[in-house]
Amino acid sequence: MTATFTERQVVSPPPAADPRSSRWEYPALAALLIGTAIAYLWNLSVNGWANSFYAAAVQAGSVSWKAFFFGSSDAANSITVDKTPLSLWPMEISVRIFGLHSWSMLLPQALIGVASVALLWATVRRVFGPSAGLLAGLALAVTPVAALMFRFNNPDALLVLLMIAATWAMTRAVEDGRWRWLLYTGLFIGLGFLTKQLQVLLVVPALALTYLVAGPPKLGKRIAQLFAAGAAMLAGAGWWLLIAEFWPADDRPYFGGSQHNSIVELTLGYNGLGRLNGDETGSVGPGGELPAGGNGMWGSTGITRMFEPQQGGQIAWLIPAALILLAAALVLRGRAARTDQQRAGLLLWGGWLLVTGLVFSFMKGIFHQYYTVALAPAVAALVGIGVVMLWREREKLWVRAALALALGATIATAWMLLTRSNSFQPWLRWTVAAAGVAVTALLLVRLPRRIEIAAATAAIVIGLAGPLAYTVDTLATGHEGPIPSAGPNVRGGFGFGPGGPRGDGGAQPMNGDGAQGGPNGGIPGGSTGGNQGGPNGGNQGGARGNPGGAPGGANTPGGTGKGGREGGGAGNFMMASKPSAKITALLSANGDEYTWVAAAIGSNSAAGFQLATQLPVMPVGGFNGSDPSPTLEQFQRYVADGDIHYFIGGGGFGSNRSGSHSSEITKWVEDHFTSQEVDGVTLYDLTAPKTR
């Protein structure tokens, strides 16, 4: 009893809420959450099908429970998406309730965004008080890449919520050292694995280090509890992995993204170590066998990667301030007890930011700018925490200097990012700079309380002005495709130029403010890229543009959208097909008589036809068209059994790879069946072979 009492005495309780704050905190929280909900739900269907690759899987899972469980691309369960399926389940349940359209699919994503803001507020508030929690929640809500991904159907939205949940549970564990909070932490990480596999592990070092340093029990017990958390993590992910791995292979879909039909291979290879070292079998091309700072298919690597044109406008706005405030806050807690909860919170959020940021900066494999949403909660939390902690100690000169430095770094970053787009609100950069310099000077001196509060409020407004402007632009603009990007097009931003995707900001031709590439730009292997929506089009890879063919969206099936293309296209590696009404009717006729109404090379090519007909379309070769599913022999057997009605020519990346299963299937179909052109799409009726 004495030992237990002594251990608990060293735990510093959370700071008591200011009694004066109780009158405004919950109205302010309500305003924050209601405002976030309105912003994220407003104009939601402008994104149409968003990423058609996942939209097709949502459609499949809404009509087939086997497709639901495995995350299949089609309801006939030929192949899965190249991720574990948890992120699809909320969307598929919503579609089962409300029917298939853009709004029902994206509704859960927006609600996950609101929940993330609320949970971040609760986690930060618990240790640092209401002001820090509200500021952290606000900063997350207006982060451009967060506003993008919480209205998109990629797995990242749910991943972020589960990472915050794990941090919340660890915060509770540091308070009282109870086993259950460690188990919850591990469980949330395990569920994060089922959402986007190994990416969730980027927060594990911060979680483990924080508890190892600051957990209330003795060291031996802390270590045992961390092992228990690891066991909970394995249980949270392992139940699905065991079922999926031991399910008979001939009775389940092929695991997309793997080369040997193995979820373990997918986890450790294409979605695992391959992302770090660039050795990604089955990917679109070489990753980054480059020194730090070298330019590869996915941009340059190095410590400044998060500030480069592709990523800067997504996440970089508050990173310098977060790092400065983290360092200053740690100094303030320098002599605190080992179990000090505020220092533990700084280690937790700071470790999340540093580990994830460094991995993103130096990883050589596939890297997309929207991955940076995983940094947003840590950046937002550190800004909220740091501002409030330093503000409470502002009588110290060095603390005022740190606050001024953080604001000055934020202004400089905003100037850099806003100048990358000449046509986007050109007045804003000058306003932020001029007002920022004045407020920075005010932060350096002691003033009457009312003036200090006015200056602090102005500093917050100035610091959030840039990301808020990008977020408003993001909410008002449709986004489609596998590589969405928040905010306006910028010089040197991600685009598709001749020879394939570019991320180096080189001197490629640009449309407007930085949408690189010309009409014939392509993906390696020959798939068409570039801007296909005319002079006002955006990045064809999904950076901007309203998709045609999305129920509830800005355009009707077969229509033309900003950044889109004329209806009737077969699609390609990066852009989903947009079938015309004539093709949709042709594929749908007697569609229930076939297992698959059609087959197409690559998931994006197949997706549009499946979404238009709401009938299974086989994505030969998976996302890249390079997976060995099906083999030529399997495809021939499906055709002989009358399981597939049409083969759609063109499309995916894999059909251009000599010796690939997709290219073998394409050649066999061309040799044995007669083609017909329907609204610019080449179709082969697999029930009517050529007569010899």
Whether 13 has a pLDDT exceeding 70, the answer reads no
Cβ 652 vs Cβ 686: under 8 Å:
no
DSSP 239: H
What count of other Cβ atoms lies within 10 Å of the Cβ of residue 285? 17
Close Cβ partners of 16 (under 8 Å, ≥ 6 residues apart): none
Strand, helix or coil for residue 479: coil
Determine what percent of the chain is predicted with pLDDT higher than 70: 81
- The pairing of beta strand 515-516 with beta strand 299-300: unpaired
Question: pLDDT (tens digit, 9 = 90+) per residue, 509-547?
Answer: 333 333 333 333 333 333 333 333 332 333 333 334 333
Phi, psi (degrees; rounded to nearest 5) at 150: -80, 5
Average pLDDT over residues 191-212: 97
What count of other Cβ atoms lies within 10 Å of the Cβ of residue 279? 17
Cβ 541 vs Cβ 516: under 8 Å:
no
What count of other Cβ atoms lies within 10 Å of the Cβ of residue 31? 13
pLDDT of residue 677: 93
Give the Cα separation of 458 and 69 in Å (integer).
50
Q: How confident is the model at residue 659 (pLDDT cuts 50, 70, 90)?
A: low
Average pLDDT over residues 565-587: 77
Give the Cα separation of 48 and 560 in Å (integer).
12
Whether 429 has a pLDDT exceeding 70, the answer reads yes
Give the Cα separation of 392 and 329 in Å (integer).
11
What count of other Cβ atoms lies within 10 Å of the Cβ of residue 499? 13
Whether 70 has a pLDDT exceeding 70, the answer reads yes
CA torsion 343-346-347-351 (nearest 10°) is -170
Whether 77 has a pLDDT exceeding 50, the answer reads yes
Strand, helix or coil for residue 541: coil
Strand, helix or coil for residue 496: strand
Give the Cα separation of 507 and 504 in Å (integer).
9
CA torsion 450-453-458-461 (nearest 10°) is -140
Of all residues in the chain, what percent are helix, strand and coil, respectively (each to 5)? Answer: 55, 10, 35
Tell me the residue type at 441. A
**H-run or E-run covering 226:** helix 219-246
- Sign of torsion over alpha carbons 223, 225, 226, 231: positive
Question: pLDDT (tens digit, 9 = 90+) per residue, 302-345?
Answer: 999 999 999 999 999 999 999 999 999 999 998 899 999 999 99
In this structure, of 433-442, 487-496, 596-605, the range with the lowest mean pLDDT score is 487-496
Nearest to 63 by CA among 73, 53, 49: 73
Whether 268 has a pLDDT exceeding 80, the answer reads yes
For the record, the structure tokens of 438 come out as 């004045």
CA torsion 187-191-197-203 (nearest 10°) is -50
Please give the biggest Cα pair distance in the chain: 95
Give the Cα separation of 58 and 100 in Å (integer).
9
Strand, helix or coil for residue 416: helix
Determine what percent of the chain is predicted with pLDDT higher than 90: 73
Cβ 415 vs Cβ 407: under 8 Å:
no
Whether 637 has a pLDDT exceeding 90, the answer reads yes
pTM score: 0.87
Give the Cα separation of 447 and 409 in Å (integer).
22
Give the Cα separation of 389 and 384 in Å (integer).
9
Average pLDDT over residues 252-277: 85
Close Cβ partners of 93 (under 8 Å, ≥ 6 residues apart): 108
What count of other Cβ atoms lies within 10 Å of the Cβ of residue 318? 27
Strand, helix or coil for residue 411: helix
Q: What angle do CA 656, 661, 662 make, to 5 degrees?
A: 45
Tell me the residue type at 500. G
Average pLDDT over residues 77-100: 97
Residues paired with residue 677 on neighbouring β-strands, in sequence order? 682
Residue 582 burial class via C-beta count within 10 angstroms: exposed 0-12, middle 13-18, buried 19 and up: middle
- CA 564 from centroid of its chain's CA atoms: 21
Nearest to 317 by CA among 186, 185, 416, 430: 416
Distances (CA, A) of 287 to 245, 298, 367, 681: 28, 7, 9, 32
Strand, helix or coil for residue 469: helix
pLDDT of residue 300: 82
Give the Cα separation of 589 and 461 in Å (integer).
57
Q: How confident is the model at residue 227 (pLDDT cuts 50, 70, 90)?
A: very high
Give the Cα separation of 171 and 174 in Å (integer).
5
pLDDT of residue 658: 52
Give the Cα separation of 328 and 343 in Å (integer).
11
Round to the nearest angstrom and report the end-to-end CA distance of the chain: 92
Question: pLDDT (tens digit, 9 = 90+) per residue, 361-408?
Answer: 999 888 999 999 999 999 999 999 999 999 999 999 999 999 999 999
Give the Cα separation of 259 and 265 in Å (integer).
8
Whether 608 has a pLDDT exceeding 50, the answer reads yes
Mean pLDDT of the chain: 85
Residue 553 or residue 33, greater confidence: 33
Cβ 561 vs Cβ 548: under 8 Å:
yes
Dump the DSSP string for 297-344: TTEE-STTGGGSHHHHHHHGGGHHHHHHHHHHHHHHTTTS-TT-HHHH
